[in-house]
Chain A
Amino acid sequence: MYRKFAAIAMILSWLLLTCAPVLAHHSVAANFDQTRTVDVTGKVKGVAIRNPHSQITLEVARPEGGVTNFYVEWSDKNALVRRSVPVAKIRVGDIVTVNVNPSHRIPDLGYFRTATLPDGTVISDCGFAAFREGIAKGKTGC
């Protein structure tokens, strides 16, 4: 199952790579295509929830055989805690499907949107923009 997703992700990423713009800084908007999403399925190899950016490393199958790493970039740890994202549910060794905004130019990199765990639980993160909108409207979060 995850071989198929990985193959699609790699093809899409290659297409993105060939038409990548020149980037001037390291903001999320500059590095990741926020108009598109890709599903990547793989085994969780590492979860690093930290500042200034968190990262999940997935081991995904290569179409030609073998495995490769796919990196999922994410918010800073403090923001994830503040948004009450249950990051501890993403465990090393689990097979998960992560929905990402693909990198503009790096084939095996994306920015986190959701993760579907083995039991079907979906971990989602509304992101900072929705969080601040919620706070501005008097809510406690997103």
Chain B
Amino acid sequence: MKTAIVITLLIANSVQAHAAGKRAELDGVWILFRAEIGNLQLTPAAEKLRAAYDYHKDEPDFQCKPASFTRIMHTPSPPIELRQRQDRVEINYEFMDVRRRVPLKKGLSSANAPYAATRYPHLGRSAGEYDEETLVVETTGQHPGVMDTLGVPGLYQSGQMRTVERFIPDGNRMQVVVTHYDPVYFIQPFTVTFNYVRLPGGKIEKWDCKPEEATFEQFIPARK
């Protein structure tokens, strides 16, 4: 039995995505090419919340509020930018003007890191490190609430959620594998894989979301 478990763990470890490129290739501006949603197994509490989700009222987008980093990356057109510095990684998301700072300090736990995006403390705290050429970012401290509204509409997160993002370079492609661990809402870790392509010469523009322009009534005006 023990042997079987060890073999299973070895196989699981060996199939974890590793970088085909070098970490320096992560720097740049990227647009989403495809997102793949892994096996989702929700707890009864999550199923109940999802059933009650009403995007007219519950979609944070309509209040110019980025629900989560996963939700931000699920927005198809606005690009993201990565810049690796000596002591931190800057991740700039065009969507909702989110400017994320991820400290790179050996042994730093995300719980002790500053807010990842000072303007949006509900997104939690992040800490990063490298696993060979892959950038690994752990985030905790996200506020309970709606997590995703595009990939999986009506998906909720609890305050206990922990995410691990693996930024994997591959030349002009980048893969970001996000694993969500949430004992309250997910029976097993829930993974979303975002595949990006480099946007040559691209830059992050101002999003400048205005709540009065982002409302549901503005999106579907005929419902007024």
A25 and B150 form a contact (CB under 8 A): yes
**B193 CB → nearest A CB, Å:** 16
Q: A140 to B78: give the CA distance in the assembly, Å.
A: 16
Total interface residues on A, using CB and 8 Å? 33
B220 and A109 form a contact (CB under 8 A): yes
Q: Which B residues are in CB contact (< 8 Å) with A69?
A: 221-222
Q: Which of A36-44, A70-78, A91-99 binds B?
A: A70-78
B180-219 residues at the A interface, CB under 8 angstroms: 197-200, 202, 205, 207-210, 213-214, 216, 218-219
* Interface size range on B against A: 20 to 34
Q: Which A residues are in CB contact (< 8 Å) with B208?
A: 51
Q: A106 to B56: give the CA distance in the assembly, Å.
A: 15
Interface residues of B, dominant DSSP = loop
Partner of B59, one of A25, A82, A107: A25
**In this assembly, does B118 line the interface, its C-beta being within 8 Å of a C-beta of chain A?**
no
Q: A51 to B208: give the CA distance in the assembly, Å.
A: 7
A47-75 residues at the B interface, CB under 8 angstroms: 48, 50-53, 55, 57, 69, 71, 73, 75
**In this assembly, does B153 line the interface, its C-beta being within 8 Å of a C-beta of chain A?**
yes
**In this assembly, does A20 line the interface, its C-beta being within 8 Å of a C-beta of chain B?**
no
**In this assembly, does A27 line the interface, its C-beta being within 8 Å of a C-beta of chain B?**
yes
A26 and B213 form a contact (CB under 8 A): no
Q: Which A residues are in CB contact (< 8 Å) with B139?
A: none
Q: Which A residues are in CB contact (< 8 Å) with B205?
A: 78, 81-82
**B220 CB → nearest A CB, Å:** 6
B197 and A106 form a contact (CB under 8 A): no
**In this assembly, does B141 line the interface, its C-beta being within 8 Å of a C-beta of chain A?**
no
B-contact 0/1 string along A20-35, CB 8 Å cutoff: 0001111100010000
Knowing A25-B59, A48-B213, A76-B77, say if A132 contacts B207 (CB, 8 Å): no
Q: A108 to B224: give the CA distance in the assembly, Å.
A: 12
Q: Which B residues are in CB contact (< 8 Å) with A52?
A: 61, 207, 209, 214
Partner of B218, one of A55, A75, A82, A107: A55
Most buried by B among A26, A75, A103, A131: A26
Of all A-B residue pairs in the complex, the 7 with the closest CB atoms, nearest first, are: A25-B153, A79-B77, A106-B222, A128-B77, A136-B197, A78-B205, A25-B55
Query: A-side interface residues toward B, CB under 8 Å?
Result: 23-27, 31, 48, 50-53, 55, 57, 69, 71, 73, 75-76, 78-79, 81-82, 103, 106-109, 128, 131-132, 135-136, 140
